Amino acid sequence: MASGEGLRFRTAITEMDDEEIYVRGYPLSDLIRGRSYAECTWLTLRGELPTAAQAAVFEAVLCGLMSYPAARGPNILAGRIAVSVHPDPSVGILAALSCAGRRTISPEHTGEMLSAALERLGDDRTDAGLSAVAAAVAQERRDAGEPLPGAGHPEFTEQDPRAVAVLAVARRHGVEGTVSRLHDAILAAYNALRPGRRPLPLNIDGAMARVLTELGFGPPQMYVASLISFLPGIGAHMLEEIESGDRFRMLEPDREDYVGPARRPLPPRARSDPG
């Protein structure tokens, strides 16, 4: 059987002929000449071109996770270790991207929480309705012993400057509505359940999720957008690691504590019963 014989796909994303590639119906050559990367990315993910305001806010979101230090980013650390052993950028990029999940680079989890809270809110967009839903969401997470997604950061204990910047761009372009009000109320309610402790600030994952929810993105689309945002930094770190010539990155011996059984002799093998 010839390669690919019998396969057939249906797609609304891309097609091509002998002269052009079309993305969502638009000639790619025209997009190259006349639209920004953020606009083309929005079009590819969402199916239609964004407005000028949507494009400006989405561009800010795409800058949100541009890069991170290896000493503080397990994603970057994993990738740099991988390419120190196998110096191929794709190996490190895959290793770094594989670390994106529930505990880091994860706006989709905040997006899931916001989507569920909005559904719960229904048509009651009053301050009282927002407060009631926010209090319920916060209490349920505390009762379950679950952290609030998109809140808190190990270094940025007062505020995450990236989140502040993204929200400022969104505010400037009018992308701030019920989702933002509800999110603020959830964060305030959750912090109120932690008396005597430093309030958790909104982090970049939370800010991205809030803005993307306002823009109509679903959680899976948020996850893809976050990976696109982080990819330039990942790629730069992988190239730097390869160019450095360092090999076999590993822990120093004194950084590992053995906690298994004490050293012991191997006992003689039990003899099988000849009978």
Say what the pLDDT of residue 275 is. Answer: 58
Asked if 53 and 73 count as a contact pair (C-beta separation under 8 A), the reply is: no
Average pLDDT, the chain: 92
Q: Is residue 127 packed enough to be buried (19+ CB in 10 Å), middle (13-18) or exposed (0-12)?
A: exposed
Q: Write down the pLDDT at residue 20.
A: 97
Q: Could you tell me the pLDDT band of residue 3, with boundaries at 50, 70 and 90?
A: low
**What is 165-205 written as a DSSP string?**
HHHHHHHHTT--SHHHHHHHHHHHHHHHTSTTSPPPPB-HH
User: Is residue 258 pLDDT above 80, yes or no?
Assistant: yes
Angstrom distance (rounded) from CA 199 to CA 196: 9
CA 165/CA 57 separation, integer angstroms: 11
What pLDDT sits at residue 100? 81
Question: Confidence band (pLDDT; 50, 70, 90) for 274?
Answer: low
**pLDDT tens-digit readout, 124-168:** 888 999 999 999 999 999 999 999 999 998 888 899 999 999 999
| Residue 228 pLDDT | 94
Q: How confident is the model at residue 4 (pLDDT cuts 50, 70, 90)?
A: low
The domain segmentation of the chain, as residue ranges, is 12-50, 107-218
Read off the pLDDT of residues 180-194 as tens digits, 9 standing for 90 and up: 999 999 999 999 999
Q: Tell me the CA distances in angstroms from 215 to 158, 183, 221, 259, one per residue in order.
A: 27, 14, 11, 50
Give residue 23's pLDDT band: very low, low, confident or very high (50, 70, 90): very high
Q: Per-residue confidence at 104, pLDDT binned at 50, 70, 90?
A: confident
Q: Which residues does residue 15 pair with via DSSP β-bridges, in sequence order?
A: 22
- Nearest-Å Rg of the Cα atoms of the chain is 24
Count of C-beta atoms within a 10 Å radius of residue 138: 21
State the pTM of this model: 0.89
CATH superfamily of 107-218: Cytochrome P450-Terp, domain 2 (1.10.230.10)
CA distance 223 to 108: 5
